[in-house]
Amino acid sequence: MRRDHVEWPWIASPFASRSLPSGGASRRPVGARNDDRHCEERSDEAIQSQGARRRDFLLSVAALAIIYLLVQPARAQEGVFRRGIGISHVMAWAPLEPAPSRSFVFPPFTYPDPAFARELAALRRSGFDFVRFAVDPGPFLQWQDARRDALDRMLDGEVRLILANGLSVIVDFHPSDMHPDYLAGKIAAGAESALFKPYLGLLARTAARLERLGSSRVALEIMNEPPPRAPAWRPMLDAAYAAIRKSAPHLMLVLDGGEEGNLEGTATLDGFRGDPNILFSFHYYRPWQFTHQGLAGMAAQYLTDVPYPARARDMQESIAGSFATIASAKLSGAQKLQAQAMARHDLESYRGLRIRPRNHRRRLRHDGAVGARAFGAAATRDSGRVRRDEQCAARACHPPKRAAALAFRRA
């Protein structure tokens, strides 16, 4: 079985007003905000070389996301999912009506197709061959009338638009935290839970529509980073797989393991060797000082020019860049001094960071109070399990789930 290696970043905001550089693999990241990401493909030969691996890693920015694909040779040779980028500004993060209403705004997604088409064309010119298209399942689950049918048609249209621009697409059902009733933890509360059964219907219905497109360049991701522990998630994954295969026996599927797609969750994704149309996704977040630099609202939001590996260049360059970012931020004088102290501390911690295999065994829980210690602003998020090094464990901050992942090559 051949192992192909694909990587992408998240784009969590529009970048229609920006232009993407053309030509070559070594290009700067693009996007309207710091949470737009860039990634590059690494060949099997490069992975075998530590020096090449580091050079490739340096090409990625901020929140680096990589999907690790285990595919059958027939699919691998097609090469339709090799260099990708995540898009979440078109059909993710559905807004709500003003309180006390608990309904999503209709229509929840209004990003203009002409702008999206220009972005897709620019991505294709830049060398990307697929996009991971994030879709908020909340509105699809809340509405069971003509509005849901309209959403189905909208998703069909966006997929067709992506294909028309020469890109493959992974439709990624990506629960958001916009609506408390449709959090990932509530959707995946159990195989018999109130929300998971409708979610199975959504998966089966969407899979059938995607299969009817008759394209090998289309895939469906069952759920991004399912939060349950691996043993609890597996019955739900099996139920989802069975429901999808009844309506779409040949559609390419992307499977995430439990525990937010971490190492242990991914290692439980066995039993699919008989299906040639399966991809596996693995999520990894360390070191957060590098992967989350510049991400608004996070502890690393003011970190700038952070290299990988940590000692690739003088730390003073990163300190100078971070201080320049802080100087331009809308902060009081006292807040800027505090942010400078935190940035220096974080960069010094990063310099001493050692990523070793045994660190995969370290665990801790977080409550999502991201950056509250540094800036006095509480941020509420779902609880989840993450892996951190001991230096990070001493801090009250944690990179977000919506950022993305770093690849792991299983022996």
pLDDT of 94-144, one tens digit each?
Answer: 999 999 999 999 999 999 999 999 999 999 999 999 999 999 999 999 999
Look up the CATH number of domain 3-281: 3.20.20
**Which range (163-177, 201-215, 283-297) has the least confidence?**
283-297
Predicted confidence band of residue 282 (pLDDT cuts 50, 70, 90): confident
Q: pTM here? A: 0.65
Residue 403: predicted pLDDT: 33
Residue 77: predicted pLDDT: 34
**Which range (126-140, 184-198, 327-341, 373-387) has the least confidence?**
373-387
pLDDT of 360-380, one tens digit each?
Answer: 333 323 322 222 232 232 222
Structural domain boundaries of the chain?
3-281, 288-393
In 3D, which of 292, 262, 173 has the Cα closest to residue 223? 173
Say which residue, 338 or 54, is predicted with more confidence.
338
The side-by-side arrangement of strands in the sheet containing 84-91 is 84-91, 130-135, 168-173, 218-221, 252-256, 278-281
**DSSP track, 129-188:** -EEEEEE--HHHHH--SHHHHHHHHHHHHHHHHHHHTT-EEEEEE---SSSGGG-HHHHT
